[in-house]
Every structure is written in structure tokens, then in C-alpha cells.
Amino acid sequence: MYEKEIKRVLFTKEQIAARVKELGEEISRDYAGESVTMVCTLRGATIFFADLVREIKCDVEIDFVACSSYGSGTTTSGEVKMQKDLSSPIEGKNVIVVEDIIDTGTTLLALTRLLKTRNPKSLKVCSFLDKPSRRKVDFKGDYIGFEIENEFVIGYGLDYNQKFRNLPEVCILAPEVYMPDLNKAL
Ligand code: PRP
């Protein structure tokens, strides 16, 4: 499936599972004896989130937010809109925001600034992927699954025009898909 759209597999199911387990262990150590509210940012982080929370061995509550910074293409618009807020207050709670990818950093900078105003006991960010070369604002995640080059990645929750989120691996999208003129030039 998707033979033409996939340039190559970047991380296999096994590599992903091993890294997610390590992240879960690290979080479990850091929050030993404490409760933590894991906040999933819809929609890209859902798959990672579901795997990660099951690797955490402390008291966990889950909640969801939806922010949007992208249009329908491959680049960010720089604007962040909160489309769905948390269901419960986070005052006095340990909160970890879970993302699929930090790209320009715009979304997480805006989201964490907002969440800090609600006075959580602590606030950290766990992102499955990080593309530091794309950063436009000063933002650093606390827990990172994999640092990657500036390539368009799909799968394991990540999409291109809402497709490919169901791929179990992380793959690099063939440039022909988002630059159709390449096909003509070939
Ligand atoms: C993606 C991703 C992050 C954000 C990262 O979300 O899930 O939230 O963009 O980009 P940034 O660091 O440049 O802000 P998107 O708006 O595509 O929504 P999705 O999670 O539904 O795919």
C-alpha cells in the first residue's frame, strides 16, 4: 500500500515501540510517587499518546486539546488556534503535553504559554519527533523520541492532507506527492 507515496521507511514499528518504552520508563522514573495528567494534542499525537501512556507506571489521567497551526499544505501558517480546550482544570497538577512533532515550535510555544496561566504544579512537553532545523521560535521539548532532518514525515499519527496517519511506521513522503511538478520534470 502507498508504494508511490512513500520514499522510504524512517522508523520501523519495532524501533518506535522500543523508543516509546524508553520514554515511558523515563517519565515513570521522573514522576515516581506522583500523579500526572497526560495531555494529547489532537490529532497527530493520538497514536503515540495511546502507546506512551501504557508505558507509564504512575497514576495517569488523560485529557485532550486541539490546536491548529497548519493549512492544508506542508508549511505552517504561523497562526495558532485553540479548537478544543481541556475538559478538566490543571491547577496544581503535573502536566505533560504530548505532541507528535515539534517543527517551527509555534504551536507548543503558544499552547504551553496558555497552559502555564492555569497554574499547573509542573508543565513539561513530550514530543515523538523533533525537527530542530525548522525552529522559528525559541522552544525546547523535555522528552523527545527522535530528532529528525527536515523531511516530510507521515505515519504513526502524522498526516499529509489528513492521509497516512494509520501507517504503523514513520515514513518519508515522496516529494512528488506534495510537489506534483516534479513528476513533469522527470
Ligand atoms: C502539527 C503537529 C504539531 C504542529 C507542529 O499539527 O501535530 O501540532 O503541527 O508544528 P509547529 O511546531 O510548526 O507549530 P497540525 O496542525 O498539522 O495538526 P494535526 O496534529 O491534526 O496533524
pLDDT tens by residue, 18-48: 999 999 999 999 999 999 999 999 999 999 9
* Contact predicate 54/20, CB 8 Å: no
Closest ligand 1 atom, residue 139 Cα: 12
Q: All 3 cell numbers of residue 47? A: 497514536
Q: What pairs with residue 9 in β-bridges?
A: 171
Beta bridge partners of 64: 40
Query: Is position 51 annotated as part of the catalytic site?
Result: no
Does the C-beta of 37 come closer than 6 Å to ligand 1?
Answer: no
Q: Residue 2: pLDDT band by 50, 70, 90 thresholds?
A: confident
pLDDT top residue among 76 and 142: 142
User: Of all protein residues, whose CA lies closest to atom 17 belonging to ligand 1?
Assistant: 70
pLDDT tier at 178, thresholds 50, 70, 90: confident
> Does the pLDDT value for residue 95 go beyond 80?
yes
User: What are the pLDDT digits (tens) for 112-148?
Assistant: 999 999 999 999 999 999 999 999 999 999 999 999 9
Mutate to test the pocket of ligand 1, among 39, 101, 114, 135 (most ligand atoms within 8 A of CB): 101
SS3 category, 29? helix
- Using CA atoms, how far apart are residues 74 and 44, in angstroms rounded to an integer? 14
Atom of ligand 1 nearest to the CA of 107: 14
Q: Which of the 8 DSSP states describes residue 174?
A: P
- Residue 27 Cα to ligand 1 midpoint, Å, equals 23
105 lines ligand 1 (CB under 6 A): yes
Give the type of residue at 99: E
Whether 70 lines ligand 1, by a CB cut-off of 6 Å, is yes
Compute and round to an integer the Cα radius of gyration of the chain: 17
Confidence band of 79 (pLDDT split at 50, 70, 90) = low
Q: What is the pLDDT of residue 186?
A: 47
Single pTM value for the model: 0.93
Mean pLDDT over each residue of the chain, to the nearest integer: 93
Report the percentage of the chain scoring pLDDT > 70.
Answer: 91
Which of 70, 84, 131 to mutate for ligand 1's pocket (most ligand atoms within 8 Å of CB)? Answer: 70
Q: Which pLDDT belongs to residue 77?
A: 56
**Cα–Cα distance measured from residue 6 to residue 70, given in angstroms and rounded to the nearest whole number:** 21
Residue 48 neighbours by CB distance under 10 Å? 25
pLDDT (0 to 100) of residue 179: 84
* Alpha carbon distance 148, 129 (integer Å): 7
C-alpha cell at 114: 496558555
